Amino acid sequence: MPSALLSPSPCCFCGRQANCALLSLPHTGWFTPFLGRRVCRSNPSHAPSCLPIPHSLQPTQLIHTGEKPYRCFECGKCFTLKSSLRRHQRMHTGAKLYKCLECEKCYTDPSTFAKHQRVHAGEKCLECGKHFTNPSAFARHQRVHTEKKPYKCLECGKHFSLKSSLKRHQKVHTGEKPYKCLECGKCFSLKSHLMSHQKVHTGEKPFKCTECWKCFTRKSQLTVHYRVHTGEKPYKCLECGKCFASPSAFTKHRRVHTGEKPYKCLECGKCFADPSAFTGHQRIHTGEKPYRCLECGKCLAQKSQLMRHQRVHTGEKPYKCLECGKCFGAPSTFAKHQRTHMGEKPYKCLECAKCFSLKSNLMTHQRIHTGEKPYKCLECEKCFSQKSVLISHQRIHKGEKPYKCLECAKCFPLKLALLKHQEAHVDEKSFDYTKPSSIQ
């Protein structure tokens, strides 16, 4: 290092003595690269005066002293290196000097450009085609397809492919919800969930689909939605070969095979495989219905229920069957319908091995084995295994008779009673038809 920089050096503006010229540099303040001068910090009145920067001082020496002599005149931000200042100034000018030869995308920053090039360089998942700029993120993602899950929950024994997923899951057992919404007081286990929730209050939906212009509060929602247009289903079940567009739908489906129901209601002990179904169920006990229809004022317990309900007013039926062209307003109804074409019956009774196309049908069937009758009439206290049977029974008390015979206009409270009655008309007609031949 030059001896001039190590010798005692007073400030030429205020006379303050430093042990060496290097230590006096932070004191003397900002260097103006275009004018080649610096000003004294101790005495603002000396601001017009200037001091030439020692040309022998290297950029690495500036890093050690903490000095940032290169200042942006647009925003006042300071930099240690001249190259950093130039790179920063491109933000203001809009200059994008780095162009990708693969896709012609342009960048202002060489490091961002280098990161982008990795997309083309081969950090690509061969299973689903997803690209990664980070090798460790790519390795973590591959566990989704290989089902390698090294992280185990000590509470329930469940395994996870990511450590972050394990930590997130553990909050289910602890019930910890440290993130609170200041608008409505609702608490969340994850900060990302709170941030997503807050958009409900602000109405913010920054992520827009370029195909149909539908807007979403989260980028992940847009990514999953976009697969409706592309038909992409990257998540494949190794048990039955069925493919899914979203990781949540894939996880939910796998529980059909494993029988896993990790979400337990503390009120009634009922368990659920799906977190949204669990949340919706809990509102049965609390009576909470936070989602209100602006058309008719009806309140619903789940957001999905509100969206389905709103299609009653709009007439929208976005789910179309490619087999018969029939359209549906709800994805669950559409999925049920598709099974009529495929003959698929994924829900199996463990008691008698009978299979069903709908989960609700399996649950109703299982009550034959358990003898459970959860639906009770408040009028006569009679219990039923099915809700539909209870509704039909209640018509007896109310005097309702919605089923009308087209032959004689007689009305009945039960559909079964109408069908039995109609058999009498069939017998009468058959008797009238055969009567002339019997007389002869």
The model's pLDDT over 130-159, given as tens digits with 9 standing for 90+, comes to 777 667 777 777 766 666 777 888 877 788
Query: Rounded to an integer, what distance in angstroms lies between the CA atom of residue 425 and that of residue 430?
Result: 9
Domains observed in the chain: 3-93 (no CATH), 135-330 (3.30.160.60), 375-427 (3.30.160.60)
Residue 87 DSSP one-character state: H
Percent over 70 (pLDDT), the chain: 75
Q: Does residue 231 contact residue 224 with C-beta atoms inside 8 Å?
A: no
Q: What is the pLDDT of residue 4?
A: 42
Query: Rounded to an integer, what distance in angstroms lies between the CA atom of residue 276 and that of residue 415?
Result: 34
The whole-angstrom distance between residue 2's C-alpha and the CA centroid of its chain comes to 60
Q: Does residue 103 contact residue 94 with C-beta atoms inside 8 Å?
A: no
The model's pLDDT over 237-267, given as tens digits with 9 standing for 90+, comes to 888 888 888 888 888 888 888 888 888 888 8
Q: Which two structure tokens, joined as six digits, stand for 152?
A: 């185990």
The model's pLDDT over 423-436, given as tens digits with 9 standing for 90+, comes to 888 776 665 544 44
Q: What is the pLDDT of residue 118?
A: 63
Q: What is the pLDDT of residue 352?
A: 92
Where helices occur in 355-414 by DSSP H, the ranges are 359-370, 387-398
Query: Rounded to an integer, what distance in angstroms lies between the CA atom of residue 388 and that of residue 394?
Result: 10
Q: What is the mean pLDDT of residues 179-192?
A: 82
Q: What is the mean pLDDT of residues 31-58?
A: 42
Q: What is the pLDDT of residue 19?
A: 45
